[in-house]
Chain A
């Protein structure tokens, strides 16, 4: 195998995609800032008076923060962390917040303090919280008041010594804030009493401001020594497959990815003019890098939606703000297209939408472009790569069904099971190398060595590259279905079924089968009346015989991850639970 140095000097003919870059620089200049805190501060100074974040509730109630205010409040929070809590640089601080105004203040504050951000899903169960907090060694936790009832069970098992509690309506205008809190507390009854020692975020910020003033603290001093190699975040991943591991993302990793995102999408982003809808959770790497960091750098107005489900929760946000960008996943775009208020009156200022997280169905992309008249382009990446590895260029050739071309500064190789590059056009495991690839998994040398080999990140995704260098994800390695020895990729079958008008959503898995080893099984959420024979006849028209689903189940909804990925493993688990006889009947033939 060639050494990393050889690969870095790959000739242009080994990077066929470079021909499609157009105005995009083939080689990325080094980021202008040495750490994220410096980037955040300079952007905040540049766009000071502009609105940075708005949090929009389902009924339209909202609050906003300007760039200057986010900067000031995150400074105060950094001071609170360092001076009041006495945290050292590099200390891990866990954040368990949904999309709300507190999120940017807290996350930026942690980065400015030189601490390490540990994003945590607010919906985690007690055991998941304990695992993540213990593994990361978090010393402080910022949590939303909706879930403080889990803390008495969690905290004794962790190193967390300080808890700060934020509310959904934090930073809202006073009257509106009281109304939202009263509705949540007394009507919905979703705010439990806090039974552990905790500080309210407003008080923490006040204390930070007081200390800053009293001691004449220069906050920039906290981040002056941070270099691109300094650890910025532990981003946990792998929760859908097993025990979650913390991907170590450095300031340099994230800064690079911000530059890569702007290189690919810059043609459609005007400084200080965009309004981006953030329906995906910011604790997830996709929204974190794209919405929170990249759009903040360009002075965009970020409209945060605390919970995009049901999808009507987005209606007021889309109606009330001049949304020009939407980032999302396949299921979100699909759900929006199924709403009349959206498909009849799509946002007028929309310029483009970015899809990631999971395969974008060609049918959804096509409908989106027809309804909104703007491109919906697919990108690809992993938590381990901060996340963007590839993206369809907005100007030039866009290939539907493709995850685009590698972003500048990124090399991609497709390899077989022995790690050897596959022949051009053949599917192989996607491996990538670039300055956005993580440093490794936190305190997991074995898993790190498995994922990172000679500097190449092994993604576990099977992809194919065409002669232009455009990549197409064939499927997850582990989702591959083996029917009588033939490879069936669930994505291909899902794409085909999704073409049917009457299909709203579909998920395909392989299940054990006595005749063929595994059989293709499709779960369909119908939009209109639909029967199994229609689906099968349709599939027979478009797919090879062995790929046609043998089993079809109609369901009301599909299990999904927080960002809306269909969880095939849950479908499989449920199937096996309901068919215990099959689960123990031995492994499939071939």
Chain B
């Protein structure tokens, strides 16, 4: 369980991350993105159709108890995190597209998360359901820093660029912070947790990567864009889920509910790193292939 100080710190860090994200954006970016709805649309579908469904099915298949089923579905519903932008950068994917998808899914989350969550958790005891008002409040609070960031950038480019940088770094720091504060204190809990919870926490991210990629390719996005959507789909905003849980539940229930988001956050860093290395190699190989084609075209291009 997080102490009140840690909760405040978490909320603060989330706000800074969103501030950073906002200061990387202009309204023009949205208007340009709206002219290219297909990638955003595919990202949206992966995010709000497939991920929650996937979470629901994994929960069913592993017969998770209601508390953990709800938190897994919550994990599936929350929008992509700022971390995905950083991994997009490392994997030589399209950072711009990644940021836009994150922001769009975060904006839409105000409507989509309560809606999707209500659909999938309707069969679960009302006591364990997450009140929509809480989610909307949290997301609303995150929107304010995003808009503030956009305003900051307009006012002073230097402040905007520095905020963007700080927000990006904090995206990683916050996960480390969560793990560092939560894991040692809950060692006992982790040791006694069943394999199915581990499987669910790891599986959600992994399946997200695969589905995001597969769906994008099926929708005829080029591999580079598909890899970007894949990372965006698999990497969820773990800290946001933690924040929502801590604001909605207390005591033992909160403890149990936090298990999956925190473990997800722990394992997603590991799986994303592996996937990022793989994607990076793909990107480099494609670049090499293009160079090769260039040489061939130049030598045989008649």
| Bound Cα distance A523, B301 (Å) | 9
Minimum Cβ distance to chain A for residue B293 (Å): 8
Cross-chain contact of A60 among B32, B153, B291 (Cβ < 8 A): B153
B38 at the interface (CB under 8 A from A): no
Q: Quick check: A319 and B158 within 8 Å, CB to CB? A: no
Min distance, Cβ B209 to any Cβ of chain A, angstroms: 26
Contact with A along B12-46 (1 / 0, CB 8 A): 00000000000000101101100100000000000
Q: Can you report 27 A-B residue pairs in the complex whose CB atoms are below 8 A from each other?
A: A56-B157, A59-B161, A59-B165, A60-B153, A60-B158, A61-B158, A61-B161, A61-B162, A173-B158, A176-B161, A179-B165, A316-B157, A319-B26, A340-B35, A345-B28, A523-B298, A550-B302, A551-B302, A552-B301, A553-B297, A553-B302, A554-B297, A554-B301, A556-B291, A574-B298, A578-B295, A578-B299
Cα-based distance from A179 to B165 in the complex (angstroms): 9
Q: How far is the CB of B294 from chain A (nearest CB, A)?
A: 5
Q: Which residues of A contact B35 (CB under 8 A)?
A: 340, 344
Beyond A319-B26, A344-B35, is A57–B161 a contact (Cβ under 8 Å)? yes
**Nearest chain B CB to A480's CB is how many angstroms away?**
22
**A62 contacts chain B at the CB level, 8 A cutoff:** yes
Nearest-neighbor residue (CB-CB) of B302 within chain A: A551
Contact indicator per residue, chain A 173-188, by CB within 8 Å of chain B (1) or not (0): 1011001000100000
Residues of A within 8 A of B291 (CB): 556
Contacts of A61 in B (CB 8 A): 157-158, 161-162
Residues on the A chain within 8 Å of B158, using CB: 60-62, 173, 176
Question: For residue B294, which residues in chain A have a CB less than 8 angstroms away from its CB?
Answer: 555-557
In this assembly, does A546 line the interface, its C-beta being within 8 Å of a C-beta of chain B? Answer: no
Q: Is the CB of B301 within 8 A of A60?
A: no
CB of A341 within 8 A of chain B? yes
In this assembly, does B232 line the interface, its C-beta being within 8 Å of a C-beta of chain A? no
The interface residues of chain A lying within 8 Å CB-to-CB of B293 are 556
When distances are taken between beta carbons in the complex, the residues of chain B under 8 Å from A222 are none
Count chain A CB atoms within 10 A of each CB in B26, B158, B160, B290 and give the residue with the most. Answer: B158
Chain B positions within 8 Å of A442 at CB level: none
Q: How far is the CA of A150 from the CA of B165 in the complex (A)?
A: 31
- CB < 8 Å neighbour of A340 from B32, B161, B290, B295: B32
A575 within 8 Å of B by Cβ? Answer: yes
Q: Which residues of B contact A173 (CB under 8 A)?
A: 158
Contacts of A552 in B (CB 8 A): 301-302
Cβ–Cβ < 8 Å partners of B153 in chain A: 60
Given pairs A176-B162, A319-B26, A551-B301, 20 additional interface contacts (CB within 8 A): A59-B161, A59-B164, A59-B165, A60-B161, A61-B158, A62-B157, A62-B158, A173-B158, A341-B28, A341-B32, A344-B31, A523-B298, A552-B302, A553-B297, A553-B302, A554-B297, A555-B294, A556-B290, A556-B291, A556-B294
CA–CA, A340 and B28, complex, Å: 10
Q: How far is the CB of A567 from chain B (nearest CB, A)?
A: 14
The reply to whether B298 and A555 contact each other, CB–CB distance below 8 Å, is yes
A523 to B295, CA, bound (A): 12
CA distance A588 to B260 in the complex (A): 75
**Contact across chains for B162 and A179 when beta carbons are under 8 A apart:** yes
- Distance, CA A173 to CA B161, complexed state (A): 13
Write the A319-348 contact mask toward B (1 if CB under 8 angstroms, else 0): 110000000000000000000110011000
B297 adjacent to A319 (CB under 8 Å): no
